[in-house]
Each structure stands twice: as C-alpha cells, then as structure tokens.
C-alpha cells in the first residue's frame, strides 16, 4: 500500500504541510509506504489545453516535474492534497497541480490504475471551518473523478506558521483520515 501526499503551500513546514504530514503518519501507522511532495518546490507548468492527453492515453505532452507526480499517483493506492485557502480558493500551487490532472480525465485512468482513495486537507485563516464549504465540496466532487474522496478536513484560524500544532483535535482527525486511506 502506497500513499502519496502533495502540499500546495508556499510555506515550507507550515500548517498545510503539518496537516498533510499527520495524514501520512496515520497511513504509515496502518502499514502504508508514504511519500511527501511540496508542489511549490517543483516546476509545474500550467495546462496548455493542447488535448494531447486525450489522444495519447492520458500522457501529458508537457515535460516538467508533473511527469514524476503522474507516476507517483499511478503507482499509489491513495493520495492526499493539502492546500491553504487564499482568496476563497485553494492556493495557486494546488490549482496548477489540480488542473494538470486533466490528463487523467476521460482517458481510462480508473481502468488502468484503479480508483484511488483520496483525502483533501485545507488550512485557512478564517476561524470558521465551514466558511468555504460550497467551494470545498465542489473540489471534493471534482476529485471524485479519480476515486473515493473523503470529506475535506479544514483547519480554521491557522494564520501563523506552525499554529496548527496547538489544535490536537484537527491533528487527531488528520491521523484518523490517513489510517482510513489504508484499506
């Protein structure tokens, strides 16, 4: 069993990375091999809408670090995407990654690689964890194209880097979600 985590935050070691890491710890505690990628440190070009993936079996024509991430997703049983909420949406780093998953859409991905177990984790400065539910449920629905998606975990009121460490309830839920990914 392999679970891969993707951190879509520009803050290395920040709240989002801590949250994703807790999910991976939960998966590891349940016997999974885990890997973590920080999307901000990778070269990921925006989708060019060339549609080559649709005639090329889901292979994206753009050669950048996303090729490594595609391979990791194909070889994984589950994956986690974590992102901070900026301006009522996921960060630009997470959005680039999400847009590039278009290569897997309607190209026989599930038949070739199976349905993935997916968890979504979001951090936000707004203390109301339900403030962006409509948007986050839309993200959940979109990720449902690639597998079984858990309800998004939201850590509200996380302004300062590392502040999430004081929210043991959210960290515990993150570890439980990670354990649940290992089926």
Residue 183: pLDDT above 80?
Answer: no
Q: DSSP letters of 71-128?
A: HHHHH-SEEEEEEEEETTEE-HHHHHHHHHGGGGTTTTHHHHH-PEEEEEEEE-SSS-
From 41-55, 79-93, 101-115, the region with the lowest mean pLDDT = 101-115
Give the model's confidence band at 48: pLDDT under 50 very low, under 70 low, under 90 confident, else very high.
very high
Query: What is the percentage of the chain residues whose pLDDT exceeds 90?
Result: 90
What pLDDT does residue 73 have? Answer: 96
What pLDDT does residue 113 have? Answer: 84
Give the model's confidence band at 66: pLDDT under 50 very low, under 70 low, under 90 confident, else very high.
very high
Give the model's confidence band at 60: pLDDT under 50 very low, under 70 low, under 90 confident, else very high.
very high
Which domains are assigned to the chain?
2-181 (3.40.50.360)
> What value does the mean pLDDT take over residues 114-119?
93
122-179: per-residue pLDDT in tens?
999 999 999 999 999 999 999 998 899 999 999 999 989 999 999 999 999 999 999 9
Contact 74, 110 (CB under 8 A): no
Rg (CA), the chain: 16
Q: What is the mean pLDDT of the chain?
A: 95
Our measurement of the distance from residue 75's CA atom to the centroid of its chain's CA atoms, rounded to an integer in Å, reads 15
Task: Tell me the helix, strand and coil percentages in the chain, rounded to 5.
Answer: 45, 20, 35
Which stretches within 11-51 are classed as H helix?
A: 15-29
Residue 114: pLDDT above 90?
Answer: no
What pLDDT does residue 29 have? Answer: 97
């Amino acid at each position: 069993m392999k679970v891969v985590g993707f951190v879509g935050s520009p803050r290395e070691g920040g709240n989002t990375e801590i949250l994703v890491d807790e999910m991976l710890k939960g998966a590891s505690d349940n016997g999974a091999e885990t890997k973590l990628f920080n999307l901000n440190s990778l070269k990921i070009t925006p989708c060019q809408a060339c549609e080559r993936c649709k005639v090329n079996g889901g292979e994206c024509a753009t050669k950048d670090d996303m090729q490594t991430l595609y391979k990791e997703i194909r070889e994984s049983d589950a994956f986690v995407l974590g992102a901070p909420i900026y301006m009522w949406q996921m960060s630009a780093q997470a959005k680039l990654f999400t847009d590039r998953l278009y290569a897997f859409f309607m190209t026989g991905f599930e038949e070739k690689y199976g349905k993935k177990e997916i968890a979504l984790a979001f951090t936000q400065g707004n203390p109301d964890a339900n403030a962006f539910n409509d948007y986050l449920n839309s993200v959940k629905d979109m990720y449902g194209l690639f597998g079984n998606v858990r309800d998004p975990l939201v850590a509200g009121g996380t302004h300062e880097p590392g502040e999430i460490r004081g929210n043991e309830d959210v960290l515990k839920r993150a570890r439980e979600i990670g354990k649940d990914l290992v089926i």
